[in-house]
Chains A and B, each alone.
Chain A
Amino acid sequence: MAAAEQIFSAGGKRMRPALVLLVSRATAQLAGLKDINPQHRRLAEIIEMIHTASLIHDDVLDESDVRRGKETIHQLFGTRIAVLAGDYLFAQSSWYLASLENMEVIKLISQVIKDLANGEIKQASSLFDCDMTLQAYLDKSFYKTASLIAASTRAAAIFSGVSSEVCQRMFSYGMNLGLAFQIVDDILDFTQSTEQLGKPAGSDLAKGNLTAPVLFALEDDQELRRIIDTEFMEEGSLEMAVKLVQKGKGIERAWALAKQKGNEAKSCLECLLPGSLRSSLEGMVDYVLERRY
C-alpha cells in the first residue's frame, strides 16, 4: 500500500485519464448523451493503472541493466516490491477491465498490454543498432507509448456508442498524439539541461536507445555512427555524441516529424462537434508539442 501511495501521489501529469475523459465527453456529446457514464470513468482509471504499472516495471528493467553481479539488500528489496507492485496493478486493471463486460474494449486493451511488452522487447533487442530504420522507431514508439493512448481514446468512443468511423478516428487521434508525445520526449532528452531533466542529457543514447533525433542525425554523420558503435566505451564519447546530435539537423527534423503527427492528430478531430471539448482536444496536441519538461 505504501508503494502504491508513493507512485500514485507522485506528481504524474495524469494526461492519459484527462484524455479519456475529454474524448468521453466529446463523443458523448456527438451521440447525444447527457453525460459520460460509469464505464467512461472506470476506463480512465484503468488506463492510468496500466500506465503506472508499466512505469514501475520499466524502472525495474532500467535498474537491473545498470548493476551486475549481486545486488545490495536495499536494491533487492526495491526490485521485489517493484515487480510485485507492477504485477498487482496489471492484475487489478485486468480485472476491472473484465468487469466492464465489453468484449470489444477488453480485446482492445488486451492488445495494448501485449504491445507494451512487445515494445520493451523490441527496444531491448535494437540497442546501439545504427541500421535501425525510422519505421522501426515509430513501431517501437507505437508499442511503448501510442498504443495505450490510441486504445483508450477508441474505447472512450466505444462507450459513447458512436459510429465505428468515429471510433476509428479517435483511435488515429490517440495514436498520432501518442507518437508526437514520444518524439517530443525523445527530443527533450537532448535539448534540456541537466537541471531541468534531473538527470544527465542523452540518457536514452547512453543506454543505446536510438531515437528520432539520433536516427536523423545518423543519416549525415559518420562520426556519430562510429562513436555509437563503440557503445561509448571511450571516456567522453557520450558527451561527444550528444554534442554531435545537438549541432546537426537531427533535432530540427525530429520536431518536424512531431509537428506532422500533431497535425494528423488534429485532423482526426474534424468528425467532432466544434466547441470547447474539441478545442481542448486540439489544445492537447499543442500542449504536447510545446512541452519543455
Chain B
Amino acid sequence: MLMAAADQIFGASGKKIRPALVFLVSHATAQLTGLSEITPQHRKLAEIIEMIHTASLIHDDVLDDSDKRRGKETVNRVFGTRVAVLAGDFIFAQTSWLLANLENLEVIKLISQVIKDFASGEIKQTTSLYDCDITMQDYLRKSYCKTASLVAASAKGAAIFSGTSNEVKENMYDYGKKLGLAFQIVDDILDFTRSSEQLGKPAGSDLRKGNVTAPVIYALEKQPALKRLIQTEFINPEDLDTAIELVHQSGGIERARELARNMGDSALDCLSCLQKGPMRSSLEGMVDYVLERLH
C-alpha cells in the first residue's frame, strides 16, 4: 500500500524545481572550483531534497485535510490519514539516513535545520490563522521556514560538495533563500489570480483556511472591511468571495508582485560570484521562470 501511495505522489506532475536547482548550482560551482563534473554526492543531494519536499507535502495535505495535489487526489484522500502520516514519516526517515551516509557534517547540519524550520513554519502558520495583525516580517519568516529554507540549504549544499569558498557558499544560500521567497510570494499571488484547473487545487484556498499571505497583508492596509471578514472566519457563505474581491480591488496583488520582483532581483545579485556562462544564465533563468508564473 505504501508503494501505491508513493506512486500517487511521485507519479503526479510535480515541477521538480528543487532538484533542478541543485543540479544547476552543482554544475555552476563545480565549474568554479575546477571539477570536471558533478559528484555522486551532488546527485544524491538532489534526490534527498526532492524526497524531503515530497514528504513535507504529504504531511501538509494531512494537516490541511486537502483533497488535491499536483492535479491528482492527495495521498490522505485516497489512502487515509494513517497511510499518509506513515508515508511521510517513512520518506523523512529515509532522507535522514541517506543524508547521514553522505558523511558531510556541514550538510547534515544544514539540512537538519531545514527540517526543523519546516515543522516550525507549520506551527507558526497554524497558530496565526485568521490573524490580521500579522506583519510582513512575520509572513517572510514563515515563508522562509516553509519554503525558502529548503531551497537555500540545497543551493548551499551543492556549493559545499563542490568545495567552494565560504563566500560562494553564502552567496548560493542567499540566492536560494531569495529565490524561494520569490517563489512563495508568487504562489500566494496565484492563489488569487488563477482558476481551479490551472492551480491543481481550488482558488482562494489560502484565505479560506485563514492563511494570511502577502496580497492580503497589503490589502488589509487599505481595506478595513476585509479585517472583519477574516476575523469572523468567513462565517457567511458569500464572505469569502467578497474578501477575494476586496483583495483584488485594494491593489494588494500588484504590491505583492513588486515584492516578488524585488526579491528576484536580489537573488540575481547573488549570482555575480559565478563565472559567466550557460550555468549562471540558467540560474538567472530560474528567477525569470519563477516570476513569469505571474503571467
How many contacting A-B pairs (Cβ < 8 A)?
Answer: 106
* B97: interface (CB < 8 Å): yes
Asked if residues A88 and B120 are in contact (CB atoms below 8 Å), the reply is: yes
Partner of A87 from B59, B97, B105, B113 at Cβ < 8 Å = B59
Q: Which of B2, B89, B116 has the most chain A CB atoms inside 10 A of its CB?
A: B89
Q: Which residue of B lies closest to A102 (CB)?
A: B105
Q: Which residue of B lies closest to A60 (CB)?
A: B85
Roughly how many angstroms separate A196 CA and B81 CA in the complex, as a whole number? Answer: 31
- Nearest CB of A to B62, in Å: 6
B residues 109-134 touching A (CB-CB < 8 Å): 109, 112-113, 115-116, 118-120, 122-123, 126
On whether the beta carbons of B108 and A87 are closer than 8 Å, the reply is no
Least CB separation from A70: chain B residue: B65
Interface size class of B (residues with CB under 8 A): 35 or more
Q: Is the CB of A87 within 8 A of B122?
A: yes
A113 within 8 A of B: yes
> A9 → chain B, closest Cβ, in Å?
19
Task: Check if A117 is an interface residue, CB within 8 A of chain B.
Answer: yes
**CB distance B65 to A118 under 8 Å?**
no
Chain B 67-117 interface residues, beta-carbon cutoff 8 Å to A: 80-82, 85-86, 89-90, 92-94, 96-97, 99-101, 103, 105, 108-109, 112-113, 115-116
- The answer on a CB contact under 8 Å between A98 and B105 is yes
Whether A118 lies near B90 (C-beta < 8 A) is yes
**Known A61-B86, A84-B122, A84-B123: A113·B116 in contact at CB below 8 Å:** no
Within 8 A of A (CB), among B202-224: none
List the B residue with the shortest CB-CB distance to A77.
B126
A61 CA / B62 CA spacing, docked (Å): 12
Residue pair A84, B93 in contact (C-beta under 8 Å)? no
Q: Mark A83-109, 1 if CB is under 8 A from B, else 0.
A: 110011011101101110101001100
Q: A61-B82, A94-B116 known; A121 and B2 CB under 8 Å?
A: yes
Which residues of A lie under 8 Å from residue B105 when comparing CB positions? 98, 101, 103
User: B1 in the interface, Cβ–Cβ < 8 Å?
Assistant: yes
Q: Which residues of A contact B122 (CB under 8 A)?
A: 84, 87
- Chain A residues near B112: list those with CB within 8 A: 91, 94-95, 97-98
B63 on the A face (CB < 8 A): yes
From A65, A87, A101, name the one whose CB has the most chain B CB atoms within 10 angstroms: A87
Contact status A107-B119, CB under 8 Å: no
- From known contacts A65-B82, A106-B100, A121-B86, infer whether A95 and B115 are also in contact, taking CB-CB under 8 Å: yes
Interface size class of A (residues with CB under 8 A): 35 or more
Nearest-neighbour CB distance to chain B for A112, whole angstroms, equals: 9
Nearest opposing residue in chain B for A79, CB measure: B81
Nearest CB on A from B200, distance (A) = 22
User: Would you give the 0/1 interface string for A48-76, flagging 1 where the beta carbon is closer than 8 Å to chain B?
Assistant: 00000000010011001100000000001
Q: Do residues B119 and A87 form an inter-chain contact, with CB atoms below 8 A?
A: yes
Inter-subunit contact B90/A121 (CB<8 Å)? yes
Q: Tell me the bound Cα distance from A65 to B62 in angstroms.
A: 15
Alpha-carbon gap, A187 to B80, bound state (A): 31
Nearest CB in chain B: distance from A205 CB, A = 19
Question: Does A197 belong to the interface (CB within 8 Å)?
Answer: no
> In the complex, what distance in Å separates the CA atom of A114 from the CA atom of B105?
19
A-B contact pairs, 24 of them (CB 8 A): A60-B82, A64-B81, A64-B82, A64-B85, A80-B126, A84-B63, A84-B123, A87-B92, A90-B115, A91-B115, A91-B118, A95-B113, A95-B115, A98-B109, A101-B105, A103-B103, A107-B101, A110-B100, A114-B97, A116-B89, A117-B94, A118-B90, A124-B82, A124-B86
6 closest A-B pairs by beta carbon, nearest first, are A88-B119, A110-B100, A64-B82, A117-B90, A98-B112, A64-B81
